[in-house]
Amino acid sequence: MKPTQQLHDLGQSLWLDNITRTMLRDGTLKGYIDELSVTGLTSNPTIFDKAISGGEAYDEQIAELSASAIVEEGIGETPTERIFFELAIADLRDATDLFAPIHERTAGVDGYCSLEVSPLLADDTAGTIAQAAQLHHRAECPNLFIKIPGTKAGLPAIEESIFANIPVNVTLLFSAEQYLAAADAYLRGIERRIEAGLDPEVPSVASLFISRWDVAVAEEAPQELRNRLGLGVGFHVYRAYRELLDSQRMQRLMNEGARPQRLLWASTGTKDPDASDVLYIEGFASPFTVNTMPEPTLNAFADHGKVGDLVPADGGDADELLARFESAGIGVQALAARLQEEGKQAFVKSWTELLKTIEAQRSEAQPS
């Protein structure tokens, strides 16, 4: 049995952190579903920028959209942003169709894809709420998450979107405190739906970014702690996750028909060339979670990964490990805030590059 199947069988969803029109058309994604137990995927501006700039698969649609009136229809969007969302939604509709049987078989627990709101809205609550609703309505896919960052401004947008029955993937989470704040926003949205007599079953995942922790401290962490901060933070968050699942608040909502928001391990591609290329896949084996991984990491795990011990429900030695980093002069809580801010800025940079790529192709498509 392949390691990917073993991981799936213990109760973890394996998602692909990538999407391209080429992999949709040539059967690559279908192969991952059939052969490597992939049950969903995530996307972000960087992924789409690489996909659009990496070949000619999008050229025809960009030319068609550039010549149509659709570029003027987006509320609060530039024409280029409108074109991007049309390109992304076209790909994600095809992908959600591939995952539809999984979504149906699991009664809506699995089989999702994700589309991110503009990173420029990370500090704009009202703008995020409006765009999340627009994208959800525009896509018309029951198994599509709208990605909203777990920033200060994003938290009320998460609550409002959940209340509006929009499936949400909370992104840019780095710590237990940030995760619990996002989970609270999700629960408030569900509680409001129950109070209003609405169906409380609105799916959501909370995405914890892992590898960026180890990259951030690579030059200052003691050798014996190298590539261990991401694992320590992840274990600490997993304990908070399990405690929330067992809480009276969550149990009451489940009794009303709600489903728990699942924890998702994100940024799980190993960045250190001297470390195992499946470090964060083997390290975060855990039931009722999702691990979304880049293609090279997925293929590496399928080839030589091993499923060992599960993440301990009590977080194991996470507290001791994080205390060792604090003793080494690395303030974990302050670093979490910095990483979220840096992640926000990195997404803005990727978004800007993505729009430049599309704008350049739009210019090429214009008749001379």
**Residue 147: active-site member:** yes
The bridge status of strand 204-209 relative to strand 38-41 is unpaired
Inter-CA distances, 309 with 213, 287, 291, 295, Å: 22, 12, 16, 24
Token pair belonging to 350: 């990727």
Q: How far apart are the first and last CA of the chain?
A: 57
b/e code 143-173 from CB counts within 10 Å (16+ = b): bbbbbbbbbebbbbbbbbbbbbebbbbbbbb
What whole-number distance in Å separates Cα of residue 280 and Cα of residue 226? Answer: 14
Give backbone dihedrals phi and psi of 262, rounded to 5 degrees, phi first: -85, 150
Tell me how far apart the alpha carbons of residues 63 and 366 are, in angstroms, rounded to a whole number: 8
Beta strands in 239-334 (DSSP E): 262-266, 289-293
Among 2, 50, 147, 152, which one carries the catalytic annotation? Answer: 147
Place of tokens 């969007």: 77
State whether the Cα torsion 349-352-356-358 is positive or negative. Answer: positive
3-state secondary structure 181-210: HHHHHHHHHHHHHHHCCCCCCCCEEEEEEC
CA-based torsion, 137, 142, 147, 150: positive or negative = positive
For residue 260, give the DSSP letter.
P
Q: Rg of the Cα trace of the chain?
A: 20
Q: What are 318's two structure tokens?
A: 């996470």
- 226 near 281, Cβ under 8 Å? no
Annotated catalytic residues are 147
